[in-house]
Structures are given as structure tokens and as C-alpha cells.
């Protein structure tokens, strides 16, 4: 039997496992691109919960939404299937989002400066996600702090850490040397610190 340890670790503390928080959704574009780059073998698909097997077998269109829990489950299954170390997985997520931001969502994401992007961060988050929220709580020259809030343990472990490279891919559209790191976090919130050339 194929093991998917990251998937099991992510789903275990959720209140209803894979059925948790159906009101929290994300655009399916990332799911489709992830599966396009790193398809799952038949054995790995069969190791998934039934609803995720169906999702992988017939992914929704880019503009449709999928529960965040399902998206996280599939992404972590890819990490398990390809035996990625955490840092490899995070690098892959950064590259995947960078490609997506520079192609499919180029008009939405292209800005003249990181400051402009940051000021619109909450609105851009709402384009991709519903049921969680992102707010900029501090903005100074070349630095900002973003506050992500979400239902209890919706994002935790690697499923939370992956947002740092996602945000970094966005910042790097206008400053290739921009960096984002995860700061303080708990079961319902996380802070991300971004730095770029002022």
C-alpha cells in the first residue's frame, strides 16, 4: 500500500478531515498546473481519499474553485509521491506560482513596484481565495507584514509554509531579489514578512 504521510499529517487534525471547511476555496488554476507538471501515478491516486481521487482524475477548470483542504491534500500528495524534501517542495511551489503569475494571471499580477502590489494584496487574495483573508498590517519602505487569517488549522505545517514562496513569487515580479518569510503563526493566523529593494 502506497503511503502519503504528508497528506495524512495535514488531514488528521482537521475537524472533519477532507470534508473540513468547504466554504474555504481556492481557484483551481494551481491544481491543474501542479498536476500537469507532476502527475500522480495510479497507485498514488488510489491512496488518496475518494473525493481527492475524483478531483485528480477530473480537475475543474482554471476559473472554478476547489476547497482549500482538497487543494492542499493534492499538493502534499505530489510532494509525497515525488519524495520531495520540504525545501524542494517550497521551491517547486515558488516556481509554479511564478510561471502562473507571469502567464495566466499576468495582467492581474504585473505591477510597477512591490509597494503597489502590497497595497492591493487583500484584493488580489480575494481573487484567488474565499473563506480566509489577507491584510497588510505594516508597510514601510522596502518591507511589509501581511496577516493571514483562516479557520482552525485550515493551513498548518507545510500547507501554511507554502504561502511564503507564493507571496515571494508575487513580489519578485517587480523585484527579483524580493524575499518573503513566515513569521509568528498559530492555529488561526500567520504573519508573513516581505522585503524588497526600496
Q: What is the tens place of the pLDDT at every residue in 3-36?
A: 999 999 999 999 999 999 999 999 999 999 999 9
Tell me, what's the pLDDT at 119?
Answer: 84
Rounded Cα gap, residues 144 and 129, in angstroms: 21
- 81 and 40 Cβ atoms separated by less than 8 Å: yes
Instruction: Locate the domains of the chain by residue range.
Output: 5-81, 111-195
In this predicted model, what pLDDT tens digit does every residue of 158-170 receive, in sequence order? Answer: 999 999 999 999 8
148-161 average pLDDT score:
98
For the chain, give the number of residues.
Answer: 198
**Report field, pTM of the whole predicted structure over 0.85:** yes
Tell me, what's the pLDDT at 111?
Answer: 62
What grid cell was written down for 123? 484584493
In this predicted model, what pLDDT tens digit does every residue of 85-136 receive, in sequence order? Answer: 999 999 999 999 998 877 655 555 566 677 877 888 888 899 889 999 999 9
Tell me, what's the pLDDT at 65?
Answer: 96
Amino acid at each position: 500500500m502506497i503511503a502519503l504521510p504528508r497528506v495524512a499529517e495535514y488531514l488528521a487534525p482537521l475537524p472533519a478531515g477532507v470534508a473540513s471547511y468547504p466554504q474555504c476555496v481556492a481557484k483551481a488554476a494551481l491544481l491543474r498546473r501542479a498536476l500537469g507538471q507532476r502527475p500522480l501515478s495510479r497507485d498514488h491516486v488510489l491512496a488518496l481519499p475518494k473525493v481527492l481521487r475524483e478531483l485528480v482524475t477530473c480537475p475543474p477548470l482554471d476559473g472554478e474553485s476547489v476547497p482549500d483542504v482538497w487543494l492542499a491534500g493534492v499538493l502534499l500528495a505530489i510532494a509525497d509521491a515525488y519524495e520531495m524534501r520540504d525545501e524542494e517542495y517550497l521551491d517547486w511551489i515558488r516556481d509554479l506560482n511564478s510561471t502562473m503569475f507571469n502567464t495566466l494571471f499576468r495582467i492581474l499580477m504585473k505591477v510597477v513596484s512591490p509597494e503597489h502590489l502590497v497595497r492591493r494584496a487583500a484584493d488580489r487574495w480575494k481573487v484567488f481565495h474565499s473563506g480566509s483573508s489577507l491584510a497588510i498590517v505594516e508597510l514601510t519602505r522596502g518591507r511589509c507584514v501581511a496577516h493571514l487569517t483562516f479557520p482552525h488549522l485550515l493551513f498548518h505545517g507545510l500547507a501554511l509554509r507554502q504561502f511564503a514562496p507564493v507571496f515571494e513569487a508575487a513580489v519578485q515580479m517587480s523585484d527579483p531579489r524580493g524575499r518573503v518569510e513566515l513569521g509568528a503563526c498559530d492555529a488561526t493566523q500567520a504573519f508573513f514578512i516581505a522585503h524588497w529593494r526600496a
